[in-house]
A and B are shown apart, each in its own frame.
Chain A
Amino acid sequence: MRFVDEYRSSADAQRLAARIADVVRSDWTIMEVCGGQTHSIVRFGLDQMLPEQITLVHGPGCPVCVTPLEMIDRAIAIASRPEVIFCSFGDMLRVPGSSQDLMSAKASGADVRMVYSPLDAVELARANPDREVVFFAVGFETTAPANAGAVEMARVQNLRNFSVLVSHVLVPPAITAILSSPDCRVNGFLAAGHVCTITGCLEYEPIAAQYRVPIVVTGFEPVDILQGVLMCVEQLERRRHTVENQYARSVRREGNPAAMAMIGKVMEVTDRTWRGIGAIPMSGLRLRDAYADFDAERKFDVGSITAQESPDCISGLVLQGLKRPNQCAAFGTMCTPEHPLGATMVSSEGACAAYYRYRRTPAAGAAQPTHAGHQP
């Protein structure tokens, strides 16, 4: 398979791992921001290939995991209305809200449908003029252009029965929040290649300069990630802290201006609560006032619904890279993919789900964190 096989080559991966071992001198903690990268690391066992000086910690880059509990409750409240067809990407359906998830709401009679694109939801609105069609617009900058485009399409077609429940989040403010925390021990970042395909790299340059951390925009395949780690370690060893682009086959420095323009036309930056982390100023997107008619939160008046996280769930610490999933007392006992306490156990890109799937048996290092002597 082109563009995949060459980045999964075992020989290239071994060569890069050996090169990292040659270069590294000190102990470094590197955070991969994106859940897709976390998944690759654990799925392919990449952390086991790294020298013990390097500790990988898993960042907050899974959109399903950071969508706040109250937003799930709002989604369920809207979905439970008889006139509503509620559309969502598949992996949001099993995320637990305060009392149930969207799949249980569906089993109780709510019309919840899994779609693969927000445009499918627009099409449903056109085909069902007597129903209210609501799309759950979650995700980082990667999904924002298509979601904004769907709203714009509904406006142009005057589909008044279409609306979106927006819970979009932005990567750079989250990195800043992690770096500003007094507990932060992250020395370098692998930024998310897909996000930067849209946004470019420019936003990361002031962060790298201010906090003196290298940020390497990185892809998702084993060779990409190991190369990203190598570039990051080379900078750390030379005490450099710039933004570099490992994922140049997809990411341009200026990003995708057309996609950014679509986001800017329909959405604006707002404060956003991150599940497990809390409020981060100017870290999300909401619909502009001109598109208020398409805002499901206003249309169905669910803004007042609030919720409390489970006290047993440490997903916030996991998302900030302060704890590993298997350092949680509930991991694999009270909290499993069948009965998740937090979203990080639900999404296929959630760090807890990745550890549960790939790291439970002692032979593969389940009982111990990856490098026990180098915990963040």
Chain B
Amino acid sequence: MNIEGPVCPVPLSRYPAIVMAHGGGGRLMRDLIENAFISAFGAVGDRPAHDSAALDLPTARIAFTTDSFVIRPLFFPNADIGELAVYGTVNDLAMGGARPLYLSASFILEEGLPVDTLMRVVQSMSRAAADTGVAIVTGDTKVVEKGRCDGMYITTAGVGSLECVGTIGPAEVREGDTVIVSGDLGRHGIAVMAVREGFAFGTQIVSDCAPLWDPVQALLASGAEVHCLRDLTRGGLASALVEIAESAHIEVTVTEEAIPVADAVRSACEILGYDPLHVANEGRFVAFVRSDHADRAIEALRTCAVSADAVSIGRVTASGEGRVLLRTVGGLRPVDMLSGEQLPRIC
């Protein structure tokens, strides 16, 4: 479609679905930005729209991150791509000990996407941003032809102010540190797969998608010496631990029986041949804390609903070689990252 030349500016509401012109830089795109994005996210202060946003930052040290979100289906039990796009980036900031403040949001929309779907996602992003106290201050929209994208893709980038004393990261991990997970594992990955593939596992498993700044703030406020935090997204607990162990050159030993996994998730994993340690989460994280501060850390985490089931699962047992060991029924075995995605087995 070409809307060059004298075209009547049709309001967004007259188009039930996204057309190429919504990304064409003309009036239709401006309508979309005003009616969908600015009305939901708000303009930045009272300043007129401009190419970039000016930000006020409370600290000199900031954290900056970005993430892209491609997920099918767009809506799944307990969350959708919009919440995921906000919480995903907010959580990456929180894992560095940074209070999330500002986000950008860029959309790649597929021609034919129902405008109602876009509005639902944008509304849920708006709610998610309000819940976490971040402002979505800038963004971009492109439209691609039908069949060239899976409904919509969202990229968010985020800026946060570093409120922790010192650094939080793999380099700070010390031998003897206690390893804590903030809750049970695998809900998000199984929930999304169940909807995508049309599985019913008896009880409905809902995504754990949630913002993690509150529990991190509680943890930092408790005075516990926090060495490293990592959210357990793609690749699950196994990938997070292996990444930390390899980059910090430490040996982490965790106990299988101590790792919390809901019965419904475990059953689904048994059926499909998945390992819950590799299944994705969107509202869980692992914390490495000084061992004599572990009780204090767990107590602080348990004051937040999202981390009410926080529990110690193991500790850093040696330094030198980077590896993760799992204590099982029969003994110790190494834990590895997956080489690709988990594939359901035949029988």
Contacts and interface: CB of A to CB of B under 8 A. Distances in A.
B145 interface: no
Contact of A45 (B199, B270, B331): B331
Interface in A1-16: 1, 4, 8-10, 13
A176 B325 CA distance: 39
B330 A48 contact: yes
Interface string A33-48: 0001000001111111
B192 to A, nearest CB: 15
Contacts of A4: 266-267, 270
Contacts of B325: 361, 363-364
B14 interface: no
B332 A91 contact: no
A63 B346 contact: yes
B333 A42 contact: yes
B329 A46 contact: yes
Interface in B323-347: 323, 325, 328-334, 336, 339-340, 343-347
Contact of B346 (A143, A222, A337): A143
Contacts of B321: 361
A93 interface: yes
Could you say which of A91, A336, A349, A359 has the most chain B C-beta atoms within 10 Å of its C-beta? A91
B121 to A, nearest CB: 26
Interface string A336-357: 1110000000011100000011
B263 interface: yes
B292 interface: no
A90 B334 contact: no
Interface residues of A, number: 47
A360 interface: yes
B346 A358 contact: no
B333 A43 contact: yes
Contacts of B270: 1, 4
B339 A337 contact: yes
B343 A93 contact: yes
Nearest to A41: B330
B197 interface: yes
A349 B345 contact: yes
Contact of B323 (A45, A143, A361): A361
Nearest to B274: A348
A336 B333 CA distance: 18
A348 B328 contact: no
A49 B331 contact: yes
Contacts of A360: 334, 336
A92 interface: yes
A229 B141 CA distance: 62
B333 A139 contact: no
Contacts of A300: none
Contacts of A36: 347
13 contacts: A4-B270, A8-B329, A44-B328, A44-B329, A49-B329, A91-B345, A94-B340, A116-B344, A139-B346, A222-B329, A347-B345, A358-B334, A366-B334
Given A8-B329, A90-B343, A91-B273, 15 more contacts: A10-B257, A44-B329, A45-B328, A45-B329, A47-B330, A63-B347, A89-B344, A89-B345, A90-B344, A114-B343, A139-B346, A143-B346, A349-B345, A363-B325, A364-B332
